[in-house]
Amino acid sequence: MPDETPGIETLHVAGEFPPVSTAEWDAAIRKDLKGADYEKKLVWRTEEGIAVRPYYRREDAAGLEGRVSLPAGHTWTAREELTFPASAVRADLLQDAGANAVQELGIALAQGVEQFAEAPRPMEFVFAVGANYFFEIAKLRAARILWAQAAAAFNAPGGVTIHVRTARIDKSVYDVYTNLLRATTEAMSAAIGGCDTIAVEPFGYSAHLAVNVHRVLREEAHLDAVADPAAGSYYIEVLTDALARAAWKLFQEIEGAGGYSAATASGFVEKQLETSRAEKRKAVAYRRRTLVGVNNYPNVKEKLPRAHAPAPLGPEEFRLAEPFECIRERTARHAAKTGRYPEVLLLKRGDVKMRMARANFSFNFFGCAGFDIVESEQYAGSGADLIVLCSSDAEYLEMAREVCASVKVPVIVAGNPKEQVEALRAAGVQGFIHIGSDAVAVLTEWQDRLSMEVA
């Protein structure tokens, strides 16, 4: 008997869309790449050393389902204060100190095992959840797997309570409502990752808005209605497994160094954090990692900070935005002293596509320093302190010879025309900005050259 309802058309989707094998998907992708390297183009290698592929299928997650153990009827509750049990393992302070996801998990696990061995009890962990959406979901799920595995060695129950607060490491004293957007996605990661409590910390916006994040997630998004909404997602299951394996390896290294206390005393843990901090700073400085409103897409009308960073929760805390905040604050001090903000003229000429792209790049680049930005096709009569040539590589040399000979202010080029660098410098060009530039170093250099006082 056909399964048909009168008046309703039944769609036989499986028949209309036959299965496509992984080999066929890969073949189609490689065809579109036209010879480009698959690994370099499509595989994302994270700061944790994990290779993330462009897509995942059922076979990738085979055997990984059901590893996360959550109590029956599990849900999360809102926490309006940043107060946590004194006995909880503070993995959140590791993130504040610059740890990546694997280090948070591995180091916190070692600390938890040491504490449990000394005084067995129901374990509680506090994690900070950042803006790497799917990784943060997977991190919390991996934490449950890891503790269950460690607890088995003590013949103890593997259950654990996970408290979460929104991260500080990705917040800024500028563009504060982007902080709210970040906190919202962070709280979503926490809920989907299976935490027990969520605390949304205000950072430049009102406590009322922070509380409303909980309400929206619960009453409108219904993220408390499913115990483990990420279960079965091939991507998240694979990420969970990858983080758990890498963290377990780090945990074993710490145990091999004598355990958490010994590894901390020997400097092993701090060395791990130093390496991670350096990698994070470099990624932000070179803008491989974007902080909206900080190192890219700045609000150039926002000259002064609108928030104050809260007091540190732990002995060591740093934020990714701090180098750019210092640059903008230096510019503001200079403006307060001189009565004007330094002006950068984006001189746009020639090839329309290239000049627009490079002007946009330069606008974001110098806007992150708090400079005033002017765009024009003319430089005569300009009161600019710095001129950026925005054109195509082929047109730069002629343009540079004209402009450098006619103005008394420094002239730089937007782009990296390697074959013309020496000729352009000979014409008077004093610098270059491009996607390979260390923005912190370059902006600081121009602040020095424009005689801005250092605090």
Same domain, 40 and 100: no
Burial class (CB in 10 A: 0-12, 13-18, 19+), 87: exposed
Q: Does 155 lie in the same domain as 32?
A: no
Q: Is residue 43 part of a domain?
A: yes
Token output for 417? 């025309």
Q: Read off the pLDDT of each residue in 68-84 and give the average, rounded to a whole number.
A: 89
Whether 323 is in a domain gets the answer no
At 12, the pLDDT band (50, 70, 90 cuts) reads confident
**Is 272 in the same domain as 338?**
no
Give 390's strand partners.
348
Instruction: Say if CB 52 and CB 239 are below 8 A apart.
Output: yes
Q: 80 and 145 in one domain?
A: yes
Residues 169 and 272 in one domain: yes
Q: pLDDT digit string (tens) for 411-439?
A: 999 999 999 999 999 999 999 999 999 99
Residue 35 structural domain: 25-55
**Does 343 share its domain with 259?**
no
Asked if residue 280 is part of any domain, the answer here is yes
85 vs 73, higher pLDDT: 85
Residue 49 lies in a domain: yes
Helical packing angle, 133-152 and 101-118, nearest 10°: 30
Q: Is residue 8 part of a domain?
A: no
- Domain CATH for 150: 3.20.20.240
241 and 368 part of one domain: no
Chain segment 321-345, per-residue pLDDT in tens: 999 999 999 999 999 999 999 999 9
User: Is residue 164 situated within a structural domain?
Assistant: yes
Which of 12, 40, 55 corresponds to the end of one domain? 55
Domain count, the chain: 3
CATH number at residue 392: 3.40.50.280
Q: What is the pTM of this model?
A: 0.92
pLDDT of residue 264: 97
Does residue 11 fall inside a structural domain?
A: no
DSSP-assigned beta bridge partners for residue 125: 89, 162
Region 362-376: what's the mean pLDDT? 97
Q: Would you say 163 and 197 are in contact if contact means Cβ atoms under 8 Å apart?
A: yes
327 located within any domain: no
Q: Report d(CA 226, CA 194) in Å as an integer.
A: 9
